Structure 1
Amino acid sequence: MENVAKNSRENAPAEVKEVRGNRHIVNSFISGAIAGAVAKTVVAPLDRTKIIFQVSSSRFSAKEVVKLLYRTYRTEGFFSLWRGNSATMVRVIPYAALQFSAHEQYKQMLGIYFETSGRPLPPFPRLLAGAMAGITATTLTYPLDLVRARMAVTPKEMYSNILHVFIRTSRDEGLKTLYSGFVPTILGVIPYAGLSFFTYETCKKVHSEYTKRPQPYAHERLLFGAFAGLIGQSASYPLDVVRRRMQTVGVLAGTKAHKCDGLVETIGRIVREGGLVGGLYKGLSMNWIKGPIAVGTSFTTFDLMQILLHKIQTHDALRR
């Protein structure tokens, strides 16, 4: 009997570790999905407006943004400001869930490789974990991002729903169109996701060392996330403009001649039309408002959901 009890005690830690590891993956997946949905819904009107300016030749200014929002509201109704948000939710929920859960797993894998033993990752693997998480999520959900962009810039009469976008795009332009703009997206997501996660994790690490508190308050998380979003989106913004143009060029009036343009040709055309700054950085000032709000909300929601799920599971375990 003593041997059996001894064996049970020796085997228990491995089993408990496996259960906790699986639970952590599920928690990260759920928390990431909720975080992405909340963040994107909050900034959806600004996001749609930004995409419209990115893919058009109209001059960007704060006054023009307000006029566009008001004109959209008057002609299409209040909820039209969220047009394409259903497609965003279909895309962002799996995207954010995959990105956050992948980030947690990459951090764990890199922690083992760099032998950090529970300590925060060094700077380079911290950056690498974020970039790898972004690449993983983007590759698996990219066609949904293209659908969202097309619904955002087209009138309601053109596409009736998300499935209609897939069917019409595949039929009229070919299946490969669903991955139009994929190369600049991947090139952009490496600095965006890498720097966003790196900056947020670094802010939390510095905060912990300075205040001696293990966890920041909610408003501090929001501030760290906003700063992370500002850094990440500023670094990757030109490639965001390029991918939006490549995603929507086949459905905008007067652009069908450029339908098959690649990355270099698209960049050249944008620069010719709007100049280096006015073309590739068009709408960046709006992103400095939208981006920090979205990323800050996303990171904060993810962390708070993780804490909430952990408390619920701990409470249930104690009741048993």
Structure 2
Amino acid sequence: MTAAPLMASEPRHVSEAKANNRELTRTATVVTSLAAGACAGALAKSTIAPLDRTKIHFQSSETPYSVRAALEFLKQSVRADGFTALWRGNSATMARIIPYAAIQFTAHEQWKRVLGVDTPAMAKQHKVRHLVAGSLAGVTSQSATYPLDLARARMAVTSASTYPTIADVFRKVATQEGLRTLYRGYPATVLGVVPYAGVSFFTYDTLKRKYFEYSGKQQSSVLNVVFGGAAGALGQTASYPLDIVRRRMQTAPRRPDGSYPYRNIPSAIRDVYRAEGWRGFFKGLSMNWVKGPVAVGISFATYDKIKTTLRELALTLQ
């Protein structure tokens, strides 16, 4: 039996909730979410890849950050390796972000269902559970794709001759440093993703709900970009110090005696503070306020648009 089409008079998140709960099969819900999340992550990350590489460069070194220094780094990268150098490491980013975004968005929907906050009314009533659902989605996706994140960071801060491909990163790290190194910085990442993903998803969903309550209208794709940008700015600011720690632990070269400069999270925090003071934990944050909201805004808006389109198509095929 063919399900009724989504009502144009309803806000998108209400219509999608009805499609998820009564009209779409569980398999169709998961598949459309995975596909939309993969597309959203790929588009968002490709858009801001040059800025992402610049941010990682400053995060992983003691070089003082400034806008001029960031522009100089971009110029030197182009002079040394050509224009495509600005996207160096983006293949590793795509290898990670496609499964990461697909898992994160899908996990968020499933965690909201498990925690009983998969409708706007329940999310409004149980704000803490709504926040926790976003955090758990971030932990789920980060745990599944962490080695790919480490590979991306290594490729972003080295020359093309060091790690020509993502496969070379895994091979060299495994043979020269051991398999455990593929998860160096993982605890800092998990600690950072809890506030980041929780605040981002919570803020985005809340802004969409508040907009509908205030205007009675369905938000446009442009507004979704704006709401996603605001969510990204808040989420990344909350988690940025741990992002610094994560990058230092991921990219620090091994010493001749086989040890690493940063043995654990406390030692990394201590060393960064001694070398650069409290400002070292926020180095490059101003760039993140530019690239982060753009990436998150594009990601959320793209996800919503593609997911809605795929689910409307799925409904017509059922």
TM over 0.5: yes
RMSD after superposition = 2.0
Q: Which residue of 1 aligns with 2:269?
A: 267
Matches within 5 A, 1:19-168: 20-111=25-116, 119-121=121-123, 122-168=126-172
Rounded to whole Å, the distance in 1 between the matches of 2:88 and 2:32 is 30
Matched to 1:20, the amino acid is: T
Q: How many residues align?
A: 296
Correspondence for 1:175 among 168, 179, 192: 179
1:222 positional shift: 0.5
Q: Which residue of 1 aligns with 2:203?
A: 199
TM-score normalised by structure 2 residue count: 0.89
Q: Higher RCO, 1 or 2 (CA under 8 Å, sep at least 6)?
A: 2
Structure 2 gaps, min length 5: 1-20
Residue 255 of structure 2 corresponds to residue 231 of structure 1: no
Rounded to whole Å, the distance in 2 between the matches of 1:86 and 1:28 is 23
Residue deviations 1:60-109 (CA, integer Å, cap 9, x gap):
00011111111111111001100000000000100000000000011111
1:19 positional shift: 5.5
Rounded to whole Å, the distance in 1 between the matches of 2:189 and 2:221 is 31
Residue 315 of structure 2 corresponds to residue 314 of structure 1: yes
- Percent sequence identity is 47
Residue deviations 1:89-135 (CA, integer Å, cap 9, x gap):
00010000000000001111112xx7x87734121111011000000
Rounded to whole Å, the distance in 2 between the matches of 1:128 and 1:54 is 28
Q: In structure 2, the residue corresponding to 1:258 is in which secondary structure? A: coil
Correspondence for 2:225 among 222, 237, 244: 222
Q: In structure 2, the residue corresponding to 1:60 is in which secondary structure? A: coil
Rounded to whole Å, the distance in 2 between the matches of 1:269 and 1:109 is 41
CA contact (8 A) 1:250 1:256 kept: no
1:307 positional shift: 1.4
Rounded to whole Å, the distance in 2 between the matches of 1:103 and 1:221 is 17
Rounded to whole Å, the distance in 1 between the matches of 2:120 and 2:251 is 45
Residue deviations 1:39-62 (CA, integer Å, cap 9, x gap):
000000000000000111111000
Q: In structure 2, the residue corresponding to 1:159 is in which secondary structure? A: coil
Give the 3 Å change call, closer, same or farther, for CA 182–210 of structure 1 in structure 2.
same
Residue deviations 1:183-235 (CA, integer Å, cap 9, x gap):
1000000000000000000000100100112x310111000000000000000
Rounded to whole Å, the distance in 1 between the matches of 2:55 and 2:102 is 24
Q: Which residue of 2 aligns with 1:7?
A: none
Runs (4+) of structure 1 exceeding 6 A deviation are 253-256
Q: Which residue of 2 aligns with 1:295?
A: 296
Rounded to whole Å, the distance in 2 between the matches of 1:306 and 1:180 is 34
CA contact (8 A) 2:248 2:262 kept: no
Q: In structure 2, the residue corresponding to 1:119 is in which secondary structure? A: helix
Q: Which residue of 2 aligns with 1:3?
A: none
Give the 3 Å change call, closer, same or farther, for CA 33–117 of structure 1 in structure 2.
closer
Rounded to whole Å, the distance in 2 between the matches of 1:125 and 1:296 is 23
Q: Which residue of 2 aligns with 1:248?
A: 251
Correspondence for 2:216 among 212, 220, 227: 212
Rounded to whole Å, the distance in 2 between the matches of 1:118 and 1:200 is 12
TM-score normalised by structure 1 residue count: 0.88
Give the 3 Å change call, closer, same or farther, for CA 62–156 of structure 1 in structure 2.
same
Structure of larger gyration radius: 1
1:27 positional shift: 0.7
1:257 positional shift: 5.6
Give the 3 Å change call, closer, same or farther, for CA 257–273 of structure 1 in structure 2.
farther
Give the 3 Å change call, closer, same or farther, for CA 254–225 of structure 1 in structure 2.
farther
Rounded to whole Å, the distance in 2 between the matches of 1:230 and 1:272 is 27
Structure 1 gaps, min length 5: 1-15
